[in-house]
Amino acid sequence: MSLFDLTGRMALVTGSSMGIGQALAKGLAEAGATIVMNARNPERLAESAAALRAEGHTVHELAFDVTDHDGVRAAIDRFEAEVGAIDILINNAGMQFRTPLQDYPHDMFEKLLATNVTSVFNVGQAVARHMIGRGKGRIINIASVQTKLARPGIAPYTATKGAVANLTQGMATDWAPLGLNCNAIAPGYFDTPLNAALVADADFSAWLEKRTPAGRWGKIEELVGAAVFLSSDASTFVNGHTLFVDGGITACL
Active site residue 157: yes
**Residue of 79, 121, 157, 190 marked catalytic:** 157
DSSP state of 212: S
Helix (H) or strand (E) holding 25: helix 19-30
Query: How far is 243 from 109, CA to CA, in rounded Å?
Result: 26
Coil, strand or helix: which one is 88?
strand
Helix (H) or strand (E) holding 60: strand 59-61
Helix (H) or strand (E) holding 244: strand 242-245
Angle (CA) 235-116-93 rounded to 5° is: 65
Helix (H) or strand (E) holding 108: helix 106-113
- How many Cβ atoms from other residues are within 10 Å of residue 163's Cβ? 18
**Among residues 98, 16, 95, which one has the least CA distance to residue 60?**
16
Sign of the Cα torsion 149, 153, 158, 159 reads: positive
Tell me the catalytic residues: 157
